[in-house]
Amino acid sequence: MPRFERKQNIFRNKDALGESYQPETIEEREEEIDQYMDALQPVVDGWEPNNIFLYGNTGVGKTAVTDYLLDQLREDVSDYEDVNLSVISLNCKTLNSSYQVAVELVNKLRPSGGEISSTGYPQQAVFKKLYAELEDIGGTILLVLDEIDAIGDRDELLYELPRARANDNLDDAKVGLIGISNDFKFRDQLDPRVQDTLCERELQFPPYDAPELENILQSRASIAIVDDAIKDGVLKFCAALAARDSGSARQALDLLRLAGEIAENNDRDAITEDHVEAARSRLEQERVEEGMRELTTHGRLALLAVVSKAAKAETPCRTRDIYEEYLTLCESSDTDSLAQRSVHNHLSDLRMLGILSANENRSGSRGNYYSYELDVPFSSAVEAMDDVLRLDEEIETIRDIATMNNRS
């Protein structure tokens, strides 16, 4: 029997590269921290807090900076007896209306057993319950709503909460909203009255450039990775790849962590650029697979049609041939088919997602046409298709045909 054995030749504290790690220092965000502190200053002074709206792409430090500053704020206001600060944080990702956010907040604030159900109340009744809970806490309350864009256009809470004192719904409690979002469109789509209050102070977090990412990686690597276990140029390479793609510190840290795991699994004593390259390609692959899982039924059927053609060694292949295959699959799965034009749009989307690649062919007088093929390994495409409704048999047949054609 193989045995487990502890490996620590690369990592000293791998958790320090993970998502839940809260860094003790924040690199490269001095300007944003200054503005953020300025926006939070009324809390220390004992006044009503500002509402603050933070936006920027994913992985650019919005949450890290918020957590860091709010910890600092809590510590610093403890010097002032007349400030009683509470911070309540909620991720709104799965909550797509004011009603749901308000219910979730009420339940967070109530002791266990006193929760309310998530349906069945008039919205104003839930808001009233929320005000009652906030009054109970009293003092200064900062409500941090991460991924606030999930609330969509049902944003009444964002209108009402900042006006709750003026409307006599709150008396003791002074509430400030901190909204965080990586959806740039969300701010502009807000009702102008909501925009005015929620975005009282706006902070934009730009993507990091390569030298900034390298510094962030450096400070994290010194905690996470054994001395001398990183070859020269590795951090620069991770930083350059992430800067070129997204400017996200999360992506840079993920690359370094996975490169470290690959080095460790290969029993190496140091991470090299080859390990980073291997990590990059694996992360890319995972990203594509995730994209495939999120496809709509017709997106999947269009993809499955290309997969089926690939199994028969008939790709690259034209839209009209893919469409024929798609119609057969729709029939087998009892799904109403879309017109060829719509399937063409799905194929373009799949191309944008990096799942298909397309070549433009010139066909003389009859104009140009595209031919498509898989841009991901056949096996990952089939695996992602596995849970397509009622098509188990067809997928099995596609696998068999692929094996016959040495395409698996």
Ligand X SMILES: Nc1ncnc2c1ncn2[C@@H]1O[C@H](COP(=O)(O)OP(=O)(O)OP(=O)(O)O)[C@@H](O)[C@H]1O
Tell me how many residues contact ligand X (CB under 6 A): 19
- Confirm or deny that 131 is annotated as ligand binding: no
- Confirm or deny that 208 is annotated as ligand binding: yes
- Residue 214 touches ligand X, criterion: CB under 6 A: no
- Give the nearest distance from C-beta 64 to ligand X in angstroms: 3
Q: Name which of 180 and 391 has its Cβ closer to ligand X.
A: 180
Contact 151, 95 (CB under 8 A): yes
Sequence-distant (≥ 6) Cβ neighbours of residue 42 within 8 angstroms: 48, 49, 50
Q: Which residues in 132-270 belong to E strands, given as ranges?
A: 140-146, 174-181, 201-204
- Give the nearest distance from C-beta 29 to ligand X in angstroms: 5
- Phi, psi (5° rounding) for residue 90? -140, 130
Contact 33, 23 (CB under 8 A): no
- Confirm or deny that 320 is annotated as ligand binding: no
- Residue 129 touches ligand X, criterion: CB under 6 A: no
Residues in region 53-72 near ligand X by CB under 6 A: 56, 58-64
Q: Which of 239, 253, 288, 374 binds ligand X (CB under 6 A)?
A: 253
Strand 368-374 with 356-362, pairing: antiparallel
- Phi, psi (5° rounding) for residue 126? -70, -40
Q: Name which of 30 and 393 has its Cβ closer to ligand X.
A: 30
Residue nearest to ligand X (CB): 61
Q: What is the radius of gyration, based on Cα positions, of the chain?
A: 26
- Give the nearest distance from C-beta 35 to ligand X in angstroms: 14
C-alpha 348/C-alpha 286 separation (Å) is: 20
Sequence-distant (≥ 6) Cβ neighbours of residue 4 within 8 angstroms: none
Structure tokens that stand for 81 in this block: 């007896």
- Residue 249 touches ligand X, criterion: CB under 6 A: yes
Please tell me whether the peptide bond between 316 and the residue prior to it is cis, using omega within 30 degrees of 0. yes
C-alpha 65/C-alpha 32 separation (Å) is: 9
Q: Which of 12, 13, 14, 26 binds ligand X (CB under 6 A)?
A: 26
- Confirm or deny that 63 is annotated as ligand binding: yes
Structure tokens that stand for 207 in this block: 């993507």
Q: Which residues in 210-355 belong to E strands, given as ranges?
A: 317-318
- Confirm or deny that 60 is annotated as ligand binding: yes
Give the angle subtended at the CA of 124 by the CAs of 122 and 129, to the nearest 5°: 100
- Residue 27 touches ligand X, criterion: CB under 6 A: yes
CB-side neighbour CA atoms (13 Å) of 365: 0
Q: Name which of 27 and 261 has its Cβ closer to ligand X.
A: 27
- Confirm or deny that 94 is annotated as ligand binding: no
- Give the nearest distance from C-beta 268 to ligand X in angstroms: 25
Q: Name the one range near ligand X by CB under 6 A: 18-26, 81-89, 108-116, 373-381.
A: 18-26
- Residue 29 touches ligand X, criterion: CB under 6 A: yes
- Residue 250 touches ligand X, criterion: CB under 6 A: yes
- Give the nearest distance from C-beta 99 to ligand X in angstroms: 24
Q: Which of 73, 102, 210, 216 binds ligand X (CB under 6 A)?
A: 216
- Confirm or deny that 319 is annotated as ligand binding: no
Q: Which of 50, 182, 195, 272 binds ligand X (CB under 6 A)?
A: 182
Residue 154 DSSP class: -
- Binding-site residues for ATP sit at 60-64, 208, 220
The binding site for ligand X (CB under 6 A) comprises 19, 23, 26-29, 56, 58-64, 182, 216, 249-250, 253
